[in-house]
Chain A
Amino acid sequence: MPDRTRSDYDLCVVGAGPAGLNATVTAGERGLRVALVDVGVQPGGQYWRHPDERFPDTLPQPSATRRHGWREYRDLDARLDALVRGGRVVHLAGRHVWGVHPGRPFLVRATAAGEDADPVVVHARRIVLATGAYDRQLPVPGWTTPGVMAAGGVQALLAGHHVRAGRRVVVAGTGPFLLSVAAGLAEAGAEVVAVCEANALTGWAAHPLRTLQEPGKLVEGAGYVTTLLRHRVPFRTRTVITAVHGTGRVTGATLRRVDRRGRARAGSEERVDADLVALGWGFIPQLELAVGVGAATRVDVDGSLVAVVDDDQRSSVSGVYLAGEVTGVGGAVQSGAEGALAGLTAAADAGRADDPRLRARLRRRIARAHRFAVAMHRASSVPVDWPTWLADDTLVCRCEEVDTGTVRAAVRDLAADDPRDVRVTARPGMGMCQGRMCGFALSCLVSVETAVTPAAADLASLATRPLATPVRLAELAEMADGEEG
């Protein structure tokens, strides 16, 4: 058996998006030996996803003039590269960390994410978890039809593979991310039939001062709007998709106007033809590793479970630092600053020189970005009455094919009275994705039935995944052989 153990790291950073990259280079440049473990074959995470750099001739790379923050990515990537060449940092790409376990003091276990990497076990004194987020989804009749995708997935195909997943597209949900996806599709030649924003546009404009304090965001947003205007993409507020049509492949969608709570307005039905529907309702932090190490959690303003950090990005668990969306969805700028601060703190806690001016600057940047994020979350909230769009036979859990009626019956007939209870009784969230797709929706549905708002403990129970990704039985068996000895 190959030696899979990587020993004696001062720090292991999990995730190579804006937060993880910043943490890695900040700590590495201060002299820590860092292992950076990431699912991607190359750094960047979801935000800086780009085509495989090994094939620049077939899949052109982004340019600084056309991609927001690209110059920053190139800078971070160069610094990472220098640290790797200097032997301070090892970049373990293409590995999915499935567990962070106690052991001198931490063992980070990762399995191959694609097919080209070996599993690894990293021993490290400190850990930065920068595991990012994925699209939040709400079920809607027809959402399991092929051709319905997460908005982030549509973006990933465009940005990472130059693939447009459809020709006629409806983009729906809430939040400014939808604009970015729609703009990307339009530029790639897709016909964007509509961008449906569930909330009122006035929501975003209600906090102009906060927006102005975050000028980067404003420029970014203005760029998307310009693109959408140029392509004459209809932007509809207070509009949602209440049904997706087609068997075997999407053929269209029904749009409805909704009120503030998300209730469909009578007579507002409109059917549009489309072969791709992109849905996004904000983001859900990937919290299972943080929950797994026992980090304290709370419910954020957007209803997501997030992990608690102090002003220096320390979690409630000694030696574990958190950065990026896991502390609350805030976007790339906030994530990057949190990553740098986590790296700086980890280095200082390891006895390296602190940099109080940098620390203060990062804290200010985080605070400013956080204020903006809170305003954005308030303006882009999930309408509370969204469950009224569901039929009893609408699937909630895509993996185990559990429908809305079954979830409701678990509460009404079997007295299951919290999300975990419904999960083990009716099986939503018990399939391969382990409740990542349906967990939020499930907690909403149970909350409607029980009239109890989900608490952090309920959401943490849904986010408890001892295996953060599936692992082959034979690979688990290697733990019995003392290979980490």
Chain B
Amino acid sequence: MIDDSTRQLCFDGRNVPFRPGQSVGAALAAAGISSWRTTRVGAAPRGLFCGIGVCYDCLVTVDGRRSQRACMTPAHEGQVVASDDPRRALDEPGGPNA
């Protein structure tokens, strides 16, 4: 690979490298991570499916914002990405992530 500009985001406490211009979903996929969400009913793992922003299966929490599409969200240095948990309560407005 040609680049020496690899950056890192943090996924569930683990450093994941990415190259500028990649999406969060691409970075996770490149790192061999294939799921980051569990479903509400079957508690089944999900990750990228359509890859182009249509299926909403790759939802992930990015810097505290819930339900972001990993395939549509650009990766940034130092970004905190967390698996989406369907049971985690909403943040109160004015809270740390408001």
Contacts and interface: CB of A to CB of B under 8 A. Distances in A.
A433 B23 contact: no
Contacts of A164: 30
B41 A152 contact: no
A189 to B, nearest CB: 12
B55 A161 contact: no
A113 B72 contact: yes
A155 B48 CA distance: 12
Nearest to A400: B41
Contacts of A59: 3, 19-22
Identify whether the interface residues of A are mostly helix, strand, loop, or mixed. Answer: loop
A439 to B, nearest CB: 11
A398 B55 contact: yes
Interface string A33-65: 000000101000010000110110111100000
A114 interface: yes
Interface in B1-53: 2-3, 5, 19-23, 25-26, 29-30, 34-35, 39-42, 44-53
B34 A54 contact: no
Nearest to A42: B21
Interface residues of A, number: 49
A433 B55 contact: yes
A190 interface: no
Sort chain B's interface into a size bin.
35 or more
Contact of A134 (B21, B42, B52, B62): B52
Interface in A5-52: 39, 41, 46, 51-52
A146 B34 contact: yes
A68 interface: no
A82 interface: no
Contacts of A116: 74
Contact of A433 (B56, B62, B68): B56
A147 interface: yes
A144 B68 CA distance: 19
A249 B35 contact: yes
A114 B71 CA distance: 9
B53 A113 contact: yes
Contact of A149 (B23, B40, B48): B48
14 contacts: A46-B52, A52-B22, A55-B21, A58-B19, A115-B62, A116-B74, A134-B50, A146-B46, A153-B48, A153-B51, A160-B23, A163-B29, A398-B57, A431-B56
Interface of A: 39, 41, 46, 51-52, 54-55, 57-60, 96, 113-116, 134-135, 144, 146-150, 152-157, 160-165, 248-249, 286, 398-401, 431-433, 436-437, 470
